A and B are shown apart, each in its own frame.
Chain A
Amino acid sequence: MTMLALTLLSPLLAGLALLALRRAPEMIALAGIGLGFVAALAQLAGIAGGETVQIILPGLPQMPLRLIATPLTAVFSILVATVAASVVLYAVGYMRGDAERPRFFGTLLLFVAAMQALVLAGDWITVLAAWELIGFASYLLIGFWHGRAGVASAATRAFVYTRSADLGLYVGIFVLIGWAGTSEISATLAISGTPALVAGLLLLIGAMGKSAQVPMQDWLQRAMAGPTPVSALLHSATLVAAGAILLIRAAPMLPGGALLAVGLVGGVTAVITGLIALGERDLKRLLAASTASQYGLMLVAIGAGAPIAALLHLIAHAAIKSALFLGAGVFQHDRNGTGLEILAGAGRARPGIFAGFAIAALALAGLPPMAAFFSKDAILAAALGSDAAPWLLPLALAGSVLTGAYMGRALNVLWAGAPGTATAPVPLLAAGMGVLVGLAAVLGFGFGALEEFLSVEVEKPGWIVPAMGLAVGLGGLALGWFVAPARLLGPLLAPSQNGFAIAGGMDALILRPSLAIAAACERLERALFDAVMAVGRINLSFGRAARSADTDAIDWAIFGFVRRTFALGDRARRLQSGFIHRELALTVIGIALIAAALLAAPLYS
C-alpha cells in the first residue's frame, strides 16, 4: 500500500514543491521521478504473486475513490515511471539554460502524478478526474513557450479537440455507473447487452480523442509545437496511451458491435495517418502521425478480440517512440529546427545518436528480434483470427507497410546530405535516449514473462503471420528509403499534406464553432457587466438626484426660510426706531386693538 501511494505521491509532492519553491528544478525533478520509479518497481515486485493492493479514499456518496494495483495496472504504472524517468533525465540536458525550468519540471511532475493516478485508478470517478488533469497538463506543457507564434493556438486546439471527445467518455461513464449502480471499474465491467454496447461506443469516442484517432488526429501533430521532452513523454507514451489503456481495461465488457467499431476506427486511422506521415515535411510531425497510426493498430488488436496484443504493442511502442522523439530532439538542438530539409544529414554528424534512432526505427518497422516484431505479429495474428478479418487484416497490413515506409524515409533524410559542422557531445541526452533504445531492443524477450505475470495466454502464431509481418516491414523500409514520397503517394500527396481535411476538417467543425461560442459568451458577459454597471450608474444617479434634491430643494427651502426670517427681522427692526412718538403711536394702536377685542367679546364668547 505504501508503494502504491508513493508511486503517486512522490511526483505529485515533488511537482508542488517545485512550483512553490522554484529552486533547484533538476534535483527535485530527478528525486521525485526516481523515487516514483523505485516505488513502482517495488509495487510490481510486491504483487508478483497475483494479489492486488487497494487504497480507498472517501469521495462522492456511495462512490469512494479507489486506487488499485492489479498486475495489469502495475504494468502500466511501471511503464509510465520508466518512460518518465528517462525523459526527465533527457530534459535536464535539453532544457539547460531555459529560464522557465521550474515551471516546466513542476508541470511535468504533476502530469506524471496524474498519469499514475489514471493507470492505477480503481473507479471511474478517479479515471475522469485524472483524464481531465492529464489533458490540462498537456495544454500547459504544449503551450510552454507561449511567447512564440502559433504555440498558444496549437495548445488551444489540442485542448479543445480532446475535450470535445471527452464528452463521449463522460456519457459512457455515466451509463456504466448508472447501469451497474457502483463506480468500481471491475464491477461495472460485468454488464452486458445494449448498455454495454452503448457504453462501449461512448468510451471509444473518448479514447479516439485522447489517442488521436481519425477524425481527431490533427491535434497530435499540432502538439509538436511543445518542447521535445513533452512530445516524448506525453504524446508518444503516456497521454495518447490513455485512450488505448481505457479500451484495454474495458475490453472484457465490449460486445461484438463495439469491438467491430473499435477495430475499424483503429484500422482506418492506421492507414490514413500513415499516409499523412509519409507526406510530412517535418520530422516531429511525422513521428506524431506515426504515433496515431500505431495506436490505430492497437485498436485493431482490441477490436480483433486480443487486448493483450494491444498491451504488448503499447509497451513496445512507448519505448520505441520515446526514443525516436528524444533522438529528434538532439537533431533539433543541432540544426535549430525540425523540418526535414533542415535536418537533412544531421544523422551523419552524430553517429551514436543516429544509431540509436535507427535501432528504434527498425524496431518500429517490425524487425526481429526487437520488441515490436513480437507485438506486431500478435496484432496481425489477432486480426487474421478475428471475425472481422476481411476488414481488419488488410488495414493492419497496410498500416504496417506505411510504418516501414515513413521510417525508411526518415532514416534516408537524416543520413543523406551534408553532415554540417562539428557538434558538442550531449551526455545527458544520450543517456536518457540510450535507456529507451535499450528497452526497445530487449523488451521483446520479456514478453513471455509478462504474459505469465498477467496470467493471459497469447496464442503462438504459426509461420504465416511472422512471414507477413517481416515482409511488410522490410518492404515498407525499402520503399521509404529508395522511393520519394511524392511518387509513392501520387495523387494522395496534397490531401495527405493537408491532413485529409474534409469540409474544413476538425478546425471548422469543432474548433471554430467552440471558439466562436466562447467569444459570444465573452460578449454576453461584457454586456451583462455593462448592464450591471448601468444599473449601478442609474442608482448612483438616483443618489445624486436625491442629494441634489436635498441640497437644492430642501436646503434652498430651509436657507430661504432663514433668509426670509432675517429679512422679516430687518423689517421688524424698523419698528424699533427709537422715536418716542412712534412708540406712542404703536401703543395707541395696540390699545385700540385690545379695546376692540374686549368690546367684541359678546360676538365670540
Chain B
Amino acid sequence: MILELMIALTIGAGLFAVGLYGALSQTNLVMIIMGVELILAAALVNLVAFWRYLHPDEPAGQMFVLIIMAVMAVEMAVGFAIAISRFRSRGSVEMEEARELKG
C-alpha cells in the first residue's frame, strides 16, 4: 500500500466528483466547461501519480499528460468559439433556453 499514491488518487477522485457535479448542474455553458476542466485535471493528477509511484522510468507517462493538456487547451478554444457564436445568435449562453435539438 503506497500511501502517497492512495492520497493522490483520492484527490483525483474528489476532483472528478466535484467536476461532474458542476458539469451537470450548471446552466451556463462556460460553467459547464469549467466543470469539464476539473474532470480533466483529475485525470491528469491520476496519471502523474501512477507515473511517479509505479513507473517513473517511463517517459510515456508524461507524454500522455502532455497530450491531454494540449487537447484540453484546444477543446476550451473550440468551446468558447461556440459560446461566442451562440451568444451572438441568441443573446445568451444559458443552457435552459437551448431547446433547438428537441425531438
- Selected interface stretch from B2-10, B44-52, B59-67, B94-102: B94-102
Measured CB to CB, the closest approach of chain B to A391, in angstroms, equals 121
| Cβ B99 vs Cβ A584 within 8 A | no
Q: Which residues of B contact A581 (CB under 8 A)?
A: 24-27, 32, 95
> Closest residue of chain A to B97, judged by CB?
A579
| Cβ B99 vs Cβ A579 within 8 A | yes
> Closest residue of chain B to A578, judged by CB?
B102
Q: Which residues of B contact A576 (CB under 8 A)?
A: 101-103
> Closest residue of chain B to A575, judged by CB?
B103
| Cβ B103 vs Cβ A578 within 8 A | yes
Measured CB to CB, the closest approach of chain A to B27, in angstroms, equals 8
Q: In the bound complex, how far is the Cα of B103 from the Cα of A573, in angstroms? A: 6
Bitwise, A579-598 to B at CB < 8 A (1) or not (0) is 11100110010000000000
The answer to whether residues A588 and B24 also contact, given A579-B95, A580-B95 and a CB cut-off of 8 A, is yes
Q: Which residues of A contact B99 (CB under 8 A)?
A: 577-579
Q: With an 8 A cutoff between CB atoms, is B20 at the interface?
A: yes
Q: Which of A99-155 contact B (CB under 8 A)?
A: none
Q: In the bound complex, how far is the Cα of B97 from the Cα of A579, in angstroms? A: 8
Q: Which of B72-102 contact A (CB under 8 A)?
A: 95-96, 98-102
> Closest residue of chain A to B102, judged by CB?
A578
| Cβ B20 vs Cβ A578 within 8 A | no
Q: With an 8 A cutoff between CB atoms, is B23 at the interface?
A: yes
User: How many pairs of A and B residues are in contact by the CB < 8 Å rule?
Assistant: 34
> Closest residue of chain B to A577, judged by CB?
B102
| Cβ B102 vs Cβ A584 within 8 A | no
Q: Which residues of A contact B27 (CB under 8 A)?
A: 581
> Closest residue of chain A to B27, judged by CB?
A581
> Closest residue of chain A to B96, judged by CB?
A579
Q: Out of A575, A577, A578, A584, which one reaches B32, CB within 8 Å?
A: A584
Measured CB to CB, the closest approach of chain A to B12, in angstroms, equals 15
Q: In the bound complex, how far is the Cα of B50 from the Cα of A568, in angstroms? A: 46
Q: In the bound complex, how far is the Cα of B23 from the Cα of A588, in angstroms? A: 10
Q: In the bound complex, how far is the Cα of B32 from the Cα of A579, in angstroms? A: 13
Total interface residues in chain B, CB < 8 Å: 16
Q: Which residues of B contact A584 (CB under 8 A)?
A: 23-24, 32
| Cβ B23 vs Cβ A578 within 8 A | no
| Cβ B103 vs Cβ A580 within 8 A | no
| Cβ A580 vs Cβ B24 within 8 A | no
Q: Out of B20, B29, B96, B98, which one reaches A588, CB within 8 Å?
A: B20
Q: Which residues of A contact B103 (CB under 8 A)?
A: 573, 575-578
Q: Which of A308-328 contact B (CB under 8 A)?
A: none
Q: In the bound complex, how far is the Cα of B63 from the Cα of A290, in angstroms? A: 145
Q: In the bound complex, how far is the Cα of B91 from the Cα of A277, in angstroms? A: 133
Q: In the bound complex, how far is the Cα of B103 from the Cα of A359, in angstroms? A: 122
Measured CB to CB, the closest approach of chain A to B35, in angstroms, equals 9
| Cβ A578 vs Cβ B101 within 8 A | yes
> Closest residue of chain B to A573, judged by CB?
B103
Q: Out of B20, B26, B29, B98, which one reaches A579, CB within 8 Å?
A: B98
> Closest residue of chain B to A572, judged by CB?
B103
Q: In the bound complex, how far is the Cα of B29 from the Cα of A584, in angstroms? A: 12
Q: In the bound complex, how far is the Cα of B26 from the Cα of A579, in angstroms? A: 12
Q: In the bound complex, how far is the Cα of B96 from the Cα of A565, in angstroms? A: 30
Measured CB to CB, the closest approach of chain B to A421, in angstroms, equals 113
The answer to whether residues A578 and B98 also contact, given A573-B103, A584-B32 and a CB cut-off of 8 A, is yes
Q: In the bound complex, how far is the Cα of B20 from the Cα of A585, in angstroms? A: 9
Q: Which residues of A contact B29 (CB under 8 A)?
A: 580
Measured CB to CB, the closest approach of chain A to B99, in angstroms, equals 4
Measured CB to CB, the closest approach of chain B to A434, in angstroms, equals 116
| Cβ A580 vs Cβ B23 within 8 A | no
Measured CB to CB, the closest approach of chain A to B86, in angstroms, equals 11
Measured CB to CB, the closest approach of chain A to B87, in angstroms, equals 15
Bitwise, A536-580 to B at CB < 8 A (1) or not (0) is 000000000000000000000000000000000000010111111
| Cβ B98 vs Cβ A580 within 8 A | yes
Q: Which residues of B contact A578 (CB under 8 A)?
A: 98-103
Q: In the bound complex, how far is the Cα of B36 from the Cα of A588, in angstroms? A: 12
Q: In the bound complex, how far is the Cα of B25 from the Cα of A585, in angstroms? A: 9
Measured CB to CB, the closest approach of chain A to B89, in angstroms, equals 16
Q: In the bound complex, how far is the Cα of B103 from the Cα of A499, in angstroms? A: 107
Q: Which residues of B contact A588 (CB under 8 A)?
A: 20, 24
Q: In the bound complex, how far is the Cα of B85 from the Cα of A379, in angstroms? A: 144
Q: Which residues of B contact A575 (CB under 8 A)?
A: 103
Q: In the bound complex, how far is the Cα of B99 from the Cα of A588, in angstroms? A: 20
Q: Which residues of B contact A585 (CB under 8 A)?
A: 24
Q: Which residues of A contact B32 (CB under 8 A)?
A: 580-581, 584
Q: Which residues of A contact B23 (CB under 8 A)?
A: 584
Q: In the bound complex, how far is the Cα of B22 from the Cα of A588, in angstroms? A: 13
Q: Which residues of B contact A577 (CB under 8 A)?
A: 99, 102-103
Which of B20, B26, B27, B102 is most buried by chain A, counting CB atoms within 10 A of its CB?
B102
Q: In the bound complex, how far is the Cα of B100 from the Cα of A576, in angstroms? A: 10
Q: Which of A355-396 contact B (CB under 8 A)?
A: none
Q: A578-B101, A579-B96, A580-B29 are in contact. List 16 more A-B contacts (CB 8 A).
A: A575-B103, A576-B102, A576-B103, A577-B99, A577-B102, A577-B103, A578-B99, A578-B102, A579-B95, A579-B98, A579-B99, A581-B25, A581-B26, A584-B23, A584-B32, A585-B24
A–B complex contacts, Cβ < 8 Å, 30 sampled? A573-B103, A575-B103, A576-B101, A576-B102, A576-B103, A577-B99, A577-B102, A578-B98, A578-B100, A578-B101, A578-B102, A578-B103, A579-B95, A579-B98, A579-B99, A580-B29, A580-B32, A580-B95, A580-B98, A581-B24, A581-B26, A581-B27, A581-B32, A581-B95, A584-B23, A584-B24, A584-B32, A585-B24, A588-B20, A588-B24
The 3 A-B residue pairs with the shortest CB-CB distance in the complex, in nearest-first order: A576-B103, A578-B102, A578-B99
